[in-house]
Amino acid sequence: MALVQHSPCARSVSLRWPTFLQRSLPSTPASPSKSRTRGRSTNSTSWSLVGAAQPLKGAAAVGRHVFSPLARGSVALFAALFFYLLIAFSWLQSLVWSPTVQLDDCLASFFAEDELRGENQYYCSRCAKLSNGLMHSEILCLPEVLCLHLKRFRNDSHSLSKVSSSVSFPLHRLDLSSYLHPSCPDKVTTYDLMGVICHTGGVTFGHYYCYALNRYTNSWYEFDDTLVNPVEAADVAALASRAYVLVYRKQNENIAPLRMQVDSLLSELSLSSSMANSVWIGRRWITRFFNFSDPGPVNNEDFLCNHGYFKPLLWEHRDDFVFEIPTKVWNLFIERFGGGPMVRTLEVCATCKSTLRALDERRQYERAEFLRLRKLPITSQCVISAKWFSSWVNFVEGHQINPPGPITNLDVLDPVPSSDSKHPLTYQFRRGSAWEPISTGCWELLFKSYGGGPTYVLPVISSSPSTATLDDENASDKEVDDLDDDDEEEEEEE
């Protein structure tokens, strides 16, 4: 319990002990300027409510000196006891009087429409004002594994408490079809329970343990630290008041027979090196087929380029990306899942290979020319965006395939407004922007290759410009030094 006492300097002081009633004797009346009186007066004796920090006089001071420590300790003990009793009562109330709700009801409440009115109005960019409206959520794509978090802790303005309400959840066939967006491509919308995480204890203490299903034996197990015990499905269903996280997995009853059929065909039509009637399929999709309840359409774009041939960068490790299957199995996949395209033979894309060769030549030229120009005497310097320069370094070092786009110095330079339209446009540094100083020769090399801009020549040559941070300069020097180190290593190899 705390009271606020207003001091003459208009500051609020929080007191951790209660105020006391002070009896003012006729010989030592309470000064109106030092205390605020509340109540009634009887003859020459008055009762006043004063803060414990206010000085007392006479006999009252003696009584206050003797009684205050005991009173403070008693009130503090009473306040602590009241706080814990409040928490216990809240826990018992949620345990005894809370009704059992269904998980479907929780999902329906989560996806229900919310009316936005009053303080909850949203800002409409088209109307440029706050407007009333309705807000709701829909699922665009269903996951293979669905994790539902039940909020077991309540935090209100008075206290933090644990919610032990019973939430009944299904072990099989949790259907989410009612919450899908019309454009959702998923055909499998039902889930089976695979695991439950539980919490026991209170708000400030507790213990976590879980239950998991072995889908091959259809058996449930309890995992509590190092202890593992088999349990019945009915025991898992009885965790309505302790379940904290529910883990569901998509369930497709029709895919298991299809997997058996594919295994049988692969065994009968075992592939050989001389087999001509075969098709190549991506290993990634095959993995999804044998592990996911809904693998989605067949997708061979993982290893195919835009021209329909094998990507040159993956050719050396092609066995890690493709898998050979009979045409009969391919037709079965396409009939059931759709997708494609069909790949009869594996050929490296000549167009992509030529493009990569040209990019490699450009990479080597720009890198060597930049290092050559950097070693020349510097007469003037230009500004370049640190972000763009870092992207260019990654390109010439081979860390990214495609070169960066045009130079974007407008993220570090702002045009200065001018009333004279004939006057050349000038720029100033944007506060907090990251840029790098490079020689004019290096700037002309990059500007000729990539374009963009704008060009900004530093008025004074300085190795540590005031507008750039020390970290930015160190980062720039480190990137260029890496180019120098790589160049020296290549010379040693030659």
3-state secondary structure the chain: CCEEEECCCCCEEEECCCCEEEEECCCCCCCCCCCCCCCCEECCEEEEEECCCCCCCHHHHHHHHHHHHHHHHHHHHHHHHHHHHHHHHHHHHHHHCCCCEEHHHHHHHHCCCEEECHHHCEEECCCCEEECEEECCCECCCCCEEEEECCCEEECCCCEEECCCCEECCCCCEECHHHECCCCCCCCCEEEEEEEEEEEECCCCEEEEEEEEECCCCEEEEEECCEEEEECHHHHHCCCCCEEEEEEEECCCCHHHHHHHHHHHHHHCCCCCCCCCEEEEEHHHHHHHHHCCCCCCEECCCCECCCCCECHHHHHHHHHCEEEEEHHHHHHHHHHHCEECCECCCCECHHHHHHHHHHHHHHHHHHHHHHHHHCCCCCCEEEEEHHHHHHHHHHHCCCCCCCCCCEEHHHCEEECCCCCCCCCCCEEECCCCCEEEEEHHHHHHHHHHHCEECCCECCCCCCCCCCCCHHHHHHHHHHHHHHHHHHHHHHHHC
Q: How far is CA 338 from CA 253, 297, 316, 416, 428, in A?
A: 19, 5, 29, 57, 56
What's the pLDDT score for residue 432? Answer: 82
Could you read off the pLDDT of 438-487 as tens digits, one per residue?
A: 999 999 999 999 999 899 888 764 444 433 333 444 445 556 556 666 65
Show pLDDT as tens, one digit a residue, over the chain (494 residues).
Answer: 222 333 333 333 333 333 233 333 344 344 444 433 333 333 433 333 333 344 444 444 444 444 455 556 666 677 667 666 655 655 555 555 557 789 999 899 888 888 888 888 888 888 888 888 888 889 999 999 999 998 887 777 677 777 878 899 999 999 999 999 999 988 899 999 999 999 888 877 888 999 999 988 999 999 999 999 999 999 999 998 889 899 999 998 889 899 999 988 888 766 554 456 889 999 999 999 999 988 989 999 999 999 999 999 999 999 999 999 988 899 999 999 999 899 999 999 999 999 999 999 999 999 999 999 999 988 889 999 999 999 999 999 999 999 999 999 988 888 887 776 666 778 888 888 899 999 999 999 999 999 998 998 887 644 444 333 334 444 455 565 566 666 555 555 55
Looking at residue 340, its pLDDT comes to 87
Check if the beta carbon of residue 134 is closer than 8 Å to that of residue 115. yes
pLDDT attached to residue 191: 95
Whole-angstrom distance, CA of residue 67 vs CA of residue 51: 15
Give the number of other CB atoms < 10 A from CB of residue 450: 17
Q: How do residues 341-383 score in pLDDT, each as one tens digit?
A: 999 999 999 999 999 999 999 999 999 999 999 999 888 899 9
Domains and CATH numbers, the chain: 3-78 (no CATH), 118-251 (3.90.70.10), 256-348 (3.30.2230.10), 370-493 (3.30.2230)
- Amino acid, res. 108: A
